[in-house]
Structure formats: C-alpha cells, structure tokens
C-alpha cells in the first residue's frame, strides 16, 4: 500500500513540478486507482501484487470515498464564494430597489419592527453629509455605509497622519499622507459597493456651506473647532436640516440631535459662545482615549438611522454625556433659547 501511495505522490507532485495541469494529474491518479482495483478484483488472494497493494479493495474504496467527499465539499465552497463575489461586484441596482445581495445584507435591519422594509428603503434613499473624517467621522461613516445609507458625503481638508491611527480606525498605516476623504471613501466602497460616496477635499467655509448642506437630508458634525460648528449649525437651521453633533475630550464624550424645525434647540442654544481656548483644548493638547471616538461616533450613527427611519425617539432636546473613565453616562435635557441668535425669536440668521 505504501508503494501505491508513494507512486500517487510522485505522479501528483512530480507532474506539478514538470508543469502538468491539475486535470491531467487527477486523470493519472484515477488511472492508478482503477489499476489497483483491477488487481484486487482479478488476482486471487495471496497474490504478490495484492499483498503489495494492501491485500483488500475495501481500504481503497474507503479512501476513494473520503477523497470524493472532500472534492465535493471543496467544489461547494468554490461555488458559494463565486456567487458571493459576483453578487458583491455587481453594479448597484436602481435607486429604491434592492438586489438579492442587499436584501440578505440588510436582513437584520429589515426584521426589526421599527425599521422593516420601509425604513431600509428610507436609508437607501437618504443623503447624509459627514463633516470630518477623523475620530468621530470614522465610526460614523463605517456604520452609515454598513447600514445602507444611499449617498454619503465626506468633507475634510486634512491628510492621514501617523498620530491619527490610534483612534481614527477607518484609515490604515498605508494611507498615511493620503487625504482623509479619499482614504475613508476607499474603505466605504470596499465595505459596501451599493453606497455612493462623494468626497470634498477642502475645509467647510462660508462660500460653500449653504449650497453643500442643501443637497443633504442630514448632517453629522465631527469637527474639533467651534468656528466650523457654529457655521454648520447656522446653515442647518436655515436649511431646516437636522444636525447630529458629537464632541470628545480625554475620557468624556457627548452628543445630541439639534433640530429646531422639530422643536429641539440648535447648537447655539446650548453653546451660545465658544469657551476660552484653555478650557477647550484639542485632542493633541489634552489627549483622548482611543476607543472613545468609536463609542460616540457609533452613537451618532445610531441617531442618524433613527432620524432617517423615524424609529424610536432621537436625541432631540437631550444630550448624552458619556464618561469612559468611570463607565458612566447621563442624559440632560436641553431647551431652545428664545433669544438664541440663530433660531430664537427675531433671529436674522
């Protein structure tokens, strides 16, 4: 039996070394198996050739059965992989309709009573702008794309730096030096080819803010400076676009949904003036624990899904504050300010 197995190994590996195709080598092995079975079926017991090939045909039949099962299993896996790859690389279907791959991908959403098919369709038809592709933008973008938001805009003028990678998980080491919007877009397209990603490699400024935000149904603000936050809030209030804003510092994060059109305060109602620079240091100055942006950014994505689908109660008029150092969270109520310079009575914003 060892002699036959050795010959089979020589045919397979030797043939591969000489450049023989897999099909040819499989054919040679099949011929060897037929020859061995012929010996056991035609020669009498005790014959030298039968003794040299294991004395019994049963062992060879058992081995052939295992090989057949293994090949069938391998072919099944190949077929499944091929079907998945073909489904994933297929061009996105028409807006509002779902391919079989999408239905399977979003099945855990669709079975949720609060979302269902209509909610998933609302996500597919939605347009969301994420301002900043950093710590908060990274997880928010990934979960929005995974959830099937049809169009995602990303605006950021920064490039990926080595110091970003401790918390900005959408970017990779190989992306260092690349504009963040392009690095993030590559990750989103690889994650979900059915999502349209638009990149704006520039800083959000007065001259483009109104026109850009007007194209979207919802804005997520993950920036780290008050000038941009106030600008985003001003334009969102004027355009009646809901704004989900998050912020981080060291071990603590916070978020809220600012939507004056639905009776909630705007960002300026809660933060009428920017704090002194020493009271609001940047992450580079004060530090931030790596997973914290993931927690707050993911919560921002949850709120976005709720706003877009109408599920549950979004954080309008509420602010969640999460303390990662002590594992505590609290919710405080925030109210519109009648004298707010942006959304208050008599405002000229």
Same domain, 17 and 144: no
Residues 82 and 105 in one domain: no
Verify that 67 and 188 share a domain, yes or no. no
- The pLDDT of residue 91 is 47
* Per-residue pLDDT, 329: 95
83 and 158 part of one domain: no
Same domain, 119 and 60: no
Indicate whether 71 and 136 sit together in one domain.
Answer: no
Phi-psi region of 327 (alpha: psi -120 to 50; beta: other; left: phi over 0): left
Provide the pLDDT for residue 349.
59
Q: Tokens 């019994």 — which residue?
A: 56
What pLDDT is attached to residue 60?
Answer: 66
Range(s) of the domain holding residue 76: 2-89
Is residue 339 domain-resident?
no
Low pLDDT (below 50) residues in the chain: 82-91, 93-94
Q: Are residues 35 and 181 in the same domain?
A: no
Confidence at residue 97, expressed as pLDDT on a 0 to 100 scale: 81
CATH code at position 126: 3.40.50.720
Q: Using the structure block, give the residue that is written with the tokens 């580079």.
A: 284
Tell me the per-residue pLDDT of 70-103, one tens digit each, with 9 for 90 and over. Answer: 777 777 766 655 444 344 444 454 456 889 999 9
How far apart are the C-alpha atoms of 123 and 108, rounded to whole Å? 14
> Do 64 and 33 contact (CB within 8 A), yes or no?
yes
**Domain shared by 34 and 121, yes or no:** no
- Say how many domains are in the chain: 2
pLDDT tens for 123-145 read: 999 999 999 999 999 999 999 99
The pLDDT, as a whole number, for residue 85 is 39
Inside any domain, residue 340: no
Q: What's phi and psi for 230, nearest 5 deg?
A: -65, -40
pTM above the 0.85 mark? no
pLDDT score recorded for residue 83:
47
Residue 278, pLDDT score = 66
> What local confidence, expressed as pLDDT, does residue 90 receive?
43
**Predicted local confidence at residue 128, as pLDDT:** 98
Is 324 within a domain? yes
Q: Same domain for 113 and 149?
A: yes
**Are 156 and 186 part of one and the same domain?**
yes
The answer to whether residues 79 and 134 belong to one domain is no
Q: Long-range contacts made by residues 185-193, C-beta under 8 angstroms, separation at least 24?
A: 185/154, 187/141, 187/142, 188/141, 188/142, 188/145, 188/152, 191/142, 191/145, 191/146, 192/105, 192/145, 192/146, 192/148, 193/88, 193/89, 193/92
Residue 173, judged by CB atoms within 10 A of its CB (0-12, 13-18, 19+), counts as exposed
Q: Which pLDDT does position 66 carry in this prediction?
A: 76
Asked if 295 and 253 count as a contact pair (C-beta separation under 8 A), the reply is yes
What pLDDT is attached to residue 262?
94
- Same structural domain for residues 141 and 286? yes
- What count of other Cβ atoms lies within 10 Å of the Cβ of residue 200? 16
- Those residues with Cβ within 8 angstroms of residue 340's Cβ, 6 or more apart along the chain or in another chain: 265, 266, 268, 269, 272, 347
What's the confidence (pLDDT) of residue 129? 98
Residue 345 lies in a domain: no
Tell me whether residue 263 is in a domain.
yes
């Amino acid at each position: 039996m060892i002699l036959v197995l050795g010959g089979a190994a020589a045919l397979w590996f030797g043939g591969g070394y000489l450049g023989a195709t897999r099909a040819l080598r499989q054919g040679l092995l099949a011929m060897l198996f037929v020859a061995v079975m012929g010996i056991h079926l035609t020669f009498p017991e005790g014959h030298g050739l039968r003794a040299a090939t294991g004395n019994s045909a049963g062992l060879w039949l058992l081995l052939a059965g295992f090989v057949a099962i293994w090949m069938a299993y391998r072919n099944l896996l190949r077929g499944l992989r091929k079907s998945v790859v073909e489904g994933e690389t297929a061009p996105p279907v028409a807006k509002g309709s779902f391919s079989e791959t999408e239905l399977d991908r979003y099945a855990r959403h669709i079975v949720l009573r609060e979302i269902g098919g209509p909610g998933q369709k609302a996500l597919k038809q939605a347009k969301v702008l994420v301002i900043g592709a950093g710590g908060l933008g990274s997880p928010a973008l990934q979960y929005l794309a995974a959830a099937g938001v049809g169009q995602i805009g990303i605006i950021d003028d920064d490039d990926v730096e080595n110091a970003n990678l401790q918390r900005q998980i959408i970017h990779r080491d190989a992306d260092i030096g690349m504009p963040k919007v392009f690095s993030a877009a590559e990750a989103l397209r690889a994650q979900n080819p059915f999502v349209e990603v638009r990149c704006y490699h520039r800083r959000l400024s007065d001259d483009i803010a109104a026109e850009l935000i007007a194209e979207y149904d919802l804005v997520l603000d993950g920036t780290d400076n008050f000038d941009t936050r106030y600008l985003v809030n001003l334009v969102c209030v004027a355009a009646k676009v809901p704004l989900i804003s998050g912020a981080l510092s060291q071990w603590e994060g916070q978020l809220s949904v600012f939507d004056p059109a639905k009776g909630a305060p705007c960002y300026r109602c809660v933060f009428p003036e920017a704090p002194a620079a020493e009271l609001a240091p940047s992450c580079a100055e004060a530090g931030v624990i790596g997973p914290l942006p993931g927690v707050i950014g993911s919560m921002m994505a949850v709120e976005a899904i709720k706003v877009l689908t109408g599920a549950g109660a979004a954080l309008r008029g509420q602010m969640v504050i999460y303390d990662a150092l002590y594992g505590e969270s609290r919710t405080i109520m925030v109210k519109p300010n009648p004298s707010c310079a942006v959304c208050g009575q008599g405002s000229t914003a």
